[in-house]
Amino acid sequence: MPNTKSAKRALRKSEVRRVRNRATRSELRSAIKSARAAITGDDAQAATKALQLASKQIDQAAAKGIIHKNAAARTKSRLAKSANQKTAE
């Protein structure tokens, strides 16, 4: 347990940030999951919309520092690559 006043405040702040980051990461994972599901589905328009939404969520998470910017770029690249392969078939 923290002993000083500043340490107590830091503990409160880190708890708030942890909860916020966890919620954002959960939303991010859900968006990626739904994008992958839409890409494997038949509706190309839904896949495009889901890919745009997932890309936006990925960018926002990277901007907030929840995921690394290179991890964000890699994830977006893989999603786009799978979407392009699906439309090429």
Radius of gyration (Cα) for the chain, nearest Å?
A: 18
89: pLDDT strictly greater than 80: no
How far is CA 67 from each of CA 33, 45, 64, 73, rounded to the nearest angstrom?
16, 28, 8, 10
Q: What are the structural domain ranges in the chain?
A: 5-87
What is the average per-residue pLDDT within 6-30? 96
Number of H-type helices and E-type strands within the chain = 3, 0
pLDDT of the residue at 37? 95
Q: What is the pLDDT of residues 31-68, one digit of tens each?
A: 999 999 999 998 889 999 999 999 999 999 999 999 99
The torsion defined by the Cα of 55, 15, 12 and 3, in degrees rounded to 10, comes to: -140
What is the topology classification, in CATH, of domain 5-87? Methane Monooxygenase Hydroxylase; Chain G, domain 1 (1.20.58)
Give the count of beta carbons closer than 10 Å to the beta carbon of residue 67: 19
pTM of the model: 0.86
Give the type of residue at 70: N
pLDDT of the residue at 51? 96
